[in-house]
Structure 1
């Protein structure tokens, strides 16, 4: 595989057509080596328009990296700045945290799976990214002890965003999550305007694996 050609094709054929046009985001995707965050067994899938499996010996379900176009679009729409603190829920391989780390002052990424937390930590260390901290923890409650954050991103899907997470945003802060139920999910960006005022906008339709331990709606049977 010609790695640089595959990276170029990913950006030009998958990401740019998904309305990712911010030149700083496109430049970042060209220099952060996605293939270095993919398990060796799936390295040939690093630049494909698909989820990449993240095997674990401790997880009850197979975890995945999000497709590159979804990661890129979330990164663009969050509009992270160098003075901002970011919380990610669902570190996975550490790739999204690496992208965020290049744009933010400091990133904390929570990963419930100990195998993946270690995998992400090793990948980030190897990439020389020093402003990202990987914490092996259940991210469903966020990180109230270190809140408030400028940006929160959920790297997976939930039925709905818990109010407790929204409460960990600063005024002016943004939270991105993929919300809903199969077959319909949408990436949603919520901005905190004041203590009790939040505004949400749906960005695009997509689907993503569930994050663990977030509440699901009750299902009634008759």
Structure 2
């Protein structure tokens, strides 16, 4: 894959410098912002592949930055914060974050999480093409930009829904079990239940199918799992 750009949003300069140094050592190109408004400016003007986002920011909170970005993109987001309570973690994940790291943290651990999230989001069993079109343009999927369009209109999938859809797209027509989809979409360390896939599939169908009860794209193979059936 081409050079990856990471946006680090952190108002504590010492922490920002450490994160930047560790990630640059791994070969990533790093953009930095010390407040929420600057973060959105960079996101809107640069090709960013992953965001490390502190919650406690001046001018615009990390939560607001996250919800704003998530309303237009499925880009991977790692929340970085001193808030350690479980409710804060749940809130961060519920507004669209893909992972959550609390301060103080090990820079090595953060780098490992970045690599794992990038691998799950971009590299793991990638679809055959970057832009896919099905049913004479009824459904369009841009893998790199994480954009889905139904009848030329943007469809807002969550990050996890996009990962499940991308997993199915690696081999259209092949049947995947729930366990296989979990491993492909979320990795070995995923702690959810396999039936979570059913919820994601239901939500995806409601967004991309003309008739969710009689799907054209995501087909249930009873007793086995799911396959992508678009042509």
Give the alignment's TM-score, normalised by structure 1: 0.30
- Of Structure 1 and Structure 2, which has the larger fraction of its residues in helix? 2
Report which of the two structures shows the higher radius of gyration computed on alpha carbons.
2
- Of Structure 1 and Structure 2, which has the larger fraction of its residues in strand? 1
Give the alignment's TM-score, normalised by structure 2: 0.29
